[in-house]
């Protein structure tokens, strides 16, 4: 038996739902059919993708690694079919939050002016790599740590960290704050796509309580609703102003790298053009701002994980 696209789709449904029953409902198949398809895929690959030894279905380490490769293959197939009858091939630029910050409008307008025949689609995907590792986008603007294998990253600039507070908070009218002044508060942490963790604070002075958030909208709602405070970057302050929200600079928090990432594999032919334009629009302007404000972020492409500490 050869592996077919239906085997990939079946496995991805199981990986997404972590349930054979729910996967069968999604695919409009019977549970035995889904189980047989998964078993045949594992036999063909010679690896175990799903751990069935517990009460709750879970992916094995091999299953987790294969999930991303399968998602890329299915996305490429679907996109090829979708583009078959069209001459325009849009370039998909992913971001998890705040896009290119203050440079977003300039980047989009410059692209439209210089490459009018290739639409640049800006897509927010609530994922650590903004959908890049799963094949949902062609290239991505990311912040902080980029640990997914098979990606090339280039740091364009850095953004200063700021505290996010309710506008009526006693600290909201300060000109600057320190991390220690936030340690006694409940922190909203975006664990899906954010760049801030409790490791930002010294081990002996970390916030005692935190709430887990899955995206920027919920992060903003938690803070403006008075449930918590947060730490983010100037990009969020510029892209998400809110009358019930205050952003206050943090004087002792390290800046967050802003990187452009793409897969180390053949991709959209316009990716090099977007990289060059991002260097010109974001990199040059960002480095000039860094020189003026005393912080910097060098420019250099690298393969593999880019590790940085620190929405």
Give dist(CA 213, CA 219) in Å, integer. Answer: 6
Per-residue pLDDT of the chain (311 residues; tens, 9 = 90+): 588 888 888 988 888 788 899 889 888 889 999 999 999 999 999 999 998 876 678 888 898 888 878 877 787 777 667 655 555 678 999 999 999 999 999 999 999 999 999 999 999 999 889 988 878 899 999 998 887 778 899 999 999 999 999 999 999 999 999 999 999 999 999 998 888 999 999 999 999 999 999 999 999 999 999 999 999 999 999 999 999 999 999 999 999 999 999 988 778 889 999 999 999 999 776 555 544 443 333 333 444 443 333 37
Domain with 44 in it: 5-83
Residues 176, 294, 216, 214: is their CA dihedral positive or negative? negative
Q: How far is CA 251 from CA 175, 203, 214, 248, 309, in A?
A: 10, 19, 27, 9, 17
pTM: 0.70
Helix, strand, coil share (%) of the chain residues, nearest 5 = 40, 20, 40
Same domain, 43 and 190: no
pLDDT for residue 64: 83
Q: Final residue of a domain: which of 83, 108, 134?
A: 83
Boundary of a domain, candidates 83, 102, 122: 83
Q: Is residue 13 part of a domain?
A: yes
CATH code of 204's domain: 3.40.190.10
- Asked if residue 219 and residue 179 are part of one domain, the reply reads yes
Query: Of 83, 104, 120, which residue sits at a domain end?
Result: 83
CB atoms within 10 A of CB 4: 13
Q: Are strands 256-263 and 50-51 parallel, antiparallel or unpaired?
A: unpaired
Q: Number of folded domains in the chain?
A: 3
Give the CA angle between residues 148, 146, 296 to the nearest 5°. Answer: 160
Question: 46 and 194 share a domain?
Answer: no
pLDDT of residue 287: 54
The reply to whether 15 falls in a domain is yes
Q: Do 109 and 98 share a structural domain?
A: yes
CA distance 251 to 90: 41
Q: Are residues 100 and 215 in the same domain?
A: no
Residue-level pLDDT at 150: 82
**Whether 19 and 33 share a structural domain:** yes
CA–CA separation, 25 and 296 (whole Å): 51
180 within some domain: yes
Q: Is residue 310 part of a domain?
A: no
Query: What Cα–Cα distance (Å) separates residue 205 from each residue in 78, 199, 249, 290?
Result: 49, 10, 19, 29
Q: Tell me: do 43 and 21 sit in the same domain.
A: yes
- 244 and 168, same structural domain? yes
């Amino acid at each position: 038996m050869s592996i077919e696209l239906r085997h990939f789709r079946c496995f991805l449904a199981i990986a997404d739902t972590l349930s054979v029953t729910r996967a069968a409902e999604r695919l409009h198949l019977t549970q035995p059919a889904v189980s047989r398809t998964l078993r045949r895929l594992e036999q063909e690959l010679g690896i175990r993708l799903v751990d069935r030894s517990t009460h709750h279905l879970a992916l094995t380490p091999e299953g987790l690694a294969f999930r991303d490769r399968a998602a890329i293959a299915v996305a490429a197939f679907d996109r090829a079919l979708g583009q078959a009858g069209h001459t325009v091939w849009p370039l998909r630029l992913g971001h998890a939050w705040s896009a290119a910050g203050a440079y977003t409008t300039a980047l989009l307008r410059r692209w439209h002016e210089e490459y009018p025949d290739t639409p640049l689609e800006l897509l927010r995907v609530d994922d650590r790599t903004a959908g890049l590792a799963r094949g949902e986008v062609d290239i991505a603007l990311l912040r902080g740590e980029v640990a997914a294998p098979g990606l090339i990253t280039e740091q364009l600039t850095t953004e200063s960290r700021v505290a996010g507070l309710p506008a009526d908070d006693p600290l909201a009218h300060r000109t600057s704050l320190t991390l220690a002044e936030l340690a006694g508060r409940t922190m909203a942490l975006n664990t899906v796509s954010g760049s801030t963790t409790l490791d930002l604070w010294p081990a002996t002075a970390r916030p005692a309580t935190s709430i887990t958030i899955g995206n920027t909208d919920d992060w903003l709602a938690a803070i403006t609703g008075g449930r918590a405070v947060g730490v983010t970057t100037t990009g969020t302050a510029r892209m998400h102003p809110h009358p019930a929200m205050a952003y206050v600079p943090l004087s002792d928090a390290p800046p967050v790298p802003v990187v452009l990432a793409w897969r180390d594999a053949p991709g959209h032919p316009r990716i090099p053009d977007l990289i060059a334009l991002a260097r010109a629009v974001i990199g040059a302007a960002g480095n000039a701002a860094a020189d003026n404000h005393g912080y910097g972020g060098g420019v250099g492409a690298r393969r593999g994980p880019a590790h940085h500490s620190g929405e």
